[in-house]
Amino acid sequence: MDCLFCKIIAGDIPSAKVYEDDKVYAFRDINPMAPVHVLIVPKCHLASADEVSADNSAYVARIFEVIPEIAKAEGLANGYRVITNCGEHGCQSVKHLHFHLLGGKQLSEEMD
């Protein structure tokens, strides 16, 4: 499959790994929008949040279980933001489900 994040998970494309287990891979965004900008992805290929179902939601659950661990390790005691962009109107550029973990500064109140 010609998927950038599948290649990163497989190690075919290098990345700055932050966390890994059997279901989840997390790495630093190549174009950080905040002092901490980590991408957290399922190891199974799901194109976006629109493909989450009862068959694969264990991957998403694991992602949200590890977010507090990653946030703590990254020193985000003052809070952070988790975002997933979905589809064209959501401005999703990489078609493998991913959650942006942003923090390390006071983030904007803007959501769009």
Catalogue the active-site residues. 98
Please say which residue, 48 or 56, places its beta carbon nearer to ligand DGP: 48
Shortest approach of ligand DGP to residue 95 CB, angstroms?
A: 8
Beta bridge partners of 39: 27, 100
Cβ distance 96 to 5 under 8 Å? yes
**Interface with ligand DGP (CB under 6 A):** 4, 15, 27-31, 39, 85, 91-94
Please say which residue, 38 or 71, places its beta carbon nearer to ligand DGP: 38
User: Distance between CA 41 and CA 110 in Å, rounded?
Assistant: 24
Shortest approach of ligand DGP to residue 107 CB, angstroms?
A: 15
Cβ distance 56 to 12 under 8 Å? no
24 alpha-carbon distance from chain centroid: 9
Please say which residue, 54 or 93, places its beta carbon nearer to ligand DGP: 93
Shortest approach of ligand DGP to residue 57 CB, angstroms?
A: 20
User: Distance between CA 67 and CA 53 in Å, rounded?
Assistant: 20
